[in-house]
């Protein structure tokens, strides 16, 4: 009888640990996704790339960020439309909308930005694996 109680207690602890880990990954995904999008919104595109982008994708990202600056693209707002975190697959996806204008025009435009994320166990962080959208 004591063995059964110990076994049940052990199983309960394992289930709680798994749930806590899963919730931790979801919380970290939410924080990373929102921080990245806030940086883009406040025109900190290079900083967002250095902080959240996979290393192999940074060069292309930085070239696009520089092109945005040269064209005078200014973000005015963003909205997270949907997001999904799959802790068991260590991946996530989000869709955001960005409002922006390109000088000298003052016309507000909107672009949809699909973002793909992965969780890297080695550094315990979420990293973006998709580049910037087109701001036409």
Q: Please write the tens of the pLDDT for every residue from 45-57.
A: 999 999 999 889 9
Task: Compute the distance between CA of residue 76 and CA of residue 61 in angstroms, rounded to an integer.
Answer: 20
**Domain edges within the chain:** 2-128
Nearest to 95 by CA among 130, 48, 56, 70: 130
Taking residues 61-87, what's their average pLDDT? 95
Paired tokens of 105: 């025009």
Q: Please write the tens of the pLDDT for every residue from 4-45.
A: 656 555 544 344 344 446 679 999 999 999 999 999 999 999
- In this predicted structure, the answer to whether residue 69 has a pLDDT above a threshold of 50 is yes
Ranking 18-32, 33-47, 59-73, 90-104 by mean pLDDT, the lowest is 18-32
Pick the CATH number of 2-128 from 3.40.190.10, 3.30.750.24, 3.50.50.60, 3.10.450.100: 3.10.450.100
Distances (CA, A) of 3 to 7, 8, 94: 6, 9, 46
Respond yes or no on whether the N-terminal peptide bond of residue 86 is cis (omega within 30° of 0).
no
- In this predicted structure, the answer to whether residue 103 has a pLDDT above a threshold of 50 is yes
């Amino acid at each position: 009888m004591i063995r059964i109680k110990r076994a049940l207690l052990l199983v309960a602890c394992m289930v709680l640990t798994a749930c806590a880990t899963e919730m931790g990954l979801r919380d970290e995904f939410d924080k990373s996704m929102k921080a990245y999008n806030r940086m883009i919104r406040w025109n900190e595109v290079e900083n967002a790339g250095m902080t959240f982008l996979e290393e192999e994708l940074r060069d292309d990202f930085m070239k696009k960020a520089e092109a945005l600056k040269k064209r005078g693209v200014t973000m005015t707002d963003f909205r997270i439309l949907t997001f999904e975190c799959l802790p068991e697959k260590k991946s996530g996806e989000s869709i955001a909308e960005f409002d922006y204008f390109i000088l000298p025009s003052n016309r507000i435009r909107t672009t949809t930005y699909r973002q793909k994320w992965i969780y890297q166990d080695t550094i315990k962080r979420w990293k973006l694996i998709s580049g910037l959208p087109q701001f036409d």
